[in-house]
Structure 1
Amino acid sequence: MFAGPNGSGKSTIKRAIPNELLGIYINPDELEAELRLSRGIALATRKISIDIEFVRSFLSDSALMAKEYSPNDIAKIRLVDGFLDYSQIRHSSYLSSATSDLLRHALLRAGVSFSFETVMSHRDKVEFLCTAYASGYRTYLYYVATDDPEINVSRVQNRVRQGGHDVPEEKIRTRYVRSLDLLLDAIKCTSRAYIFDNSSGPGDHFLIAEITDGTDLEIQRDDVPDWFDRAVLRKIAEQ
């Protein structure tokens, strides 16, 4: 799982990992673009095999789908030759998020190797990681953050100027806080966790710490960033 607040540099960390170690990769931004362009998702190219009953059952139980879609809408979803067809329902960000969740659970159910990217601002991503860990998966967390959410706001603004996707400033700030709050809980459900700081500039990230089996902490630097001290070290000391 590649995690961290918006604009922290998750994609940069991901590019440093050999593709053969990633398994099937679920990228929410790429998924969003594919849904808008194709009005559906090509499952076959992701080597995902599911039936329409599983799709409709999963999406019917999704709190994200419930925000925008009725049972009648979900009944209009079709699965044709490995293509999940959403052409009969309107698009929304909730549909993209729910579909990412669907694909992750389908891969988990199949027991295949996969990876995904997340801001990790909601506990459900941590719970998913813990479910995979408890199911026998070797779980790896690559987490990257910065010292100040205003750095993240600035980087997202720069990304938009270069044609990338936008995120409202207040969402960036609130997600920053929530993501850091969940970091230690996520670490506890990992076979190996790698924590990076990317405050200095895009691509100038450095490794702060490695954690093995959720508990064996190895600090890689003498000067750890304040955010890591607050989110991890102080919480460990209080336990």
Structure 2
Amino acid sequence: MSRPVLTIIAGSNGCGKSTLTRGAREEFQQNPVLDPDAIAKSLQATYGSPSNIEAGKQVLRIAEELIENRQSFTVETTLSGGTYLRMADRAKRAGFDIRVFFIGTTSVEINIERVKARVRKGGHDVPEEDQRRRYPRTLANMKKLLPSAGFAGILDNSTPKGHTVVGYGVGANMHWIEPLPDWAAGLRT
């Protein structure tokens, strides 16, 4: 019997997490995808107002059920707090393999502009001050998560080329593709 897998797709607001999961459906959508933003949008359609807090609570409830049932799943997260670090730890203790795909950009300014563009197209907004606060936290928490990953893929999404692999591997045995963006160099252990 194969081990269940928790796949974490992480990165700051506006980095391209949802674009990656939509574009690589075969890779990321074979199992349930828990995306707080999508759940908040669904709540808005149902109840008329978005509830990011309720969406976050739903993601955590569903994730706990999936861990308890040893069912593989994927989460999208900014990884700016400790919640998903604790989730990964619980899943690993429950026998899950942890796979992480981290998407970074060379500057929070790129992300801020992408969020503004998303809003112009009818997507959800994230206050600029939240984006600026989360950007360094996201990188710091990824550095904490990296050693426990059974596999990690690190992607740069700073340019119109889209997601470009800059690192992959397992924990301390990462293969880094030079030249590394400054933000990715900070993830080396």
Q: TM-score, length-normalised on structure 1?
A: 0.71
Residue 103 of structure 1: CA displacement?
A: 0.9
Residues 1:150 and 2:138 are matched in the alignment? no
Q: Give the one of 17, 28, 40 matched to 2:36.
A: 28
Contact residue 22 and residue 113 of structure 1 kept, 8 A? no
**Residues in 1 aligned to 2:70 and 2:16: alpha-carbon distance in whole angstroms:** 28
Q: Which residue of 2 aligns with 1:126?
A: 85
**Residues in 2 aligned to 1:184 and 1:133: alpha-carbon distance in whole angstroms:** 17
Q: Give the one of 163, 176, 182 matched to 1:226.
A: 182
The one-letter code matched in structure 1 to 2:113 is: S
Contact residue 3 and residue 141 of structure 1 kept, 8 A? yes
Residues 1:105 and 2:64 are matched in the alignment? yes
- Per-residue CA deviations over 1:58-89 (Å, capped at 9, x if unaligned) read xxxxxxxxxxxxxxxxxxxxxxxxxxxxxxxx
Q: TM-score, length-normalised on structure 2?
A: 0.88
Question: Which of structures 1 and 2 has the bigger CA Rg?
Answer: 1
**Residues in 1 aligned to 2:179 and 2:60: alpha-carbon distance in whole angstroms:** 37
The root-mean-square deviation of aligned C-alpha atoms, in Å, is 1.8
**Residues in 2 aligned to 1:35 and 1:21: alpha-carbon distance in whole angstroms:** 21
**Residues in 1 aligned to 2:45 and 2:29: alpha-carbon distance in whole angstroms:** 29
Unmatched tracts of structure 2, length 5 or more = 1-7
The one-letter code matched in structure 2 to 1:113 is: S
Identical amino acids, percent of aligned pairs? 29
Contact residue 3 and residue 120 of structure 1 kept, 8 A? yes
**Residues in 2 aligned to 1:21 and 1:12: alpha-carbon distance in whole angstroms:** 12
Contact residue 22 and residue 115 of structure 1 kept, 8 A? no
Residue 17 of structure 1: CA displacement?
A: 4.6
- Give the stretch that moved more between structures: 101-110 or 17-26: 17-26
Residue 22 of structure 1: CA displacement?
A: 3.7
The one-letter code matched in structure 2 to 1:185 is: K
Q: Which residue of 2 aligns with 1:211?
A: 169
**Residues in 2 aligned to 1:211 and 1:135: alpha-carbon distance in whole angstroms:** 22
SS class of match (2:85): helix
**Residues in 2 aligned to 1:36 and 1:207: alpha-carbon distance in whole angstroms:** 35
Q: Which residue of 1 aligns with 2:5?
A: none
Residue 191 of structure 1: CA displacement?
A: 0.7
- How many residue pairs get aligned? The number is 180
Q: Which residue of 1 aligns with 2:96?
A: 137
**Residues in 1 aligned to 2:142 and 2:172: alpha-carbon distance in whole angstroms:** 13
Q: Which residue of 2 aligns with 1:78?
A: none
Unmatched tracts of structure 1, length 5 or more = 40-89
**Residues in 2 aligned to 1:30 and 1:96: alpha-carbon distance in whole angstroms:** 8
**Residues in 2 aligned to 1:31 and 1:154: alpha-carbon distance in whole angstroms:** 23
Contact residue 9 and residue 17 of structure 2 kept, 8 A? yes
Contact residue 41 and residue 50 of structure 2 kept, 8 A? no
**Residues in 1 aligned to 2:97 and 2:138: alpha-carbon distance in whole angstroms:** 22
Residues 1:10 and 2:17 are matched in the alignment? yes
- Per-residue CA deviations over 1:38-71 (Å, capped at 9, x if unaligned) read 35xxxxxxxxxxxxxxxxxxxxxxxxxxxxxxxx
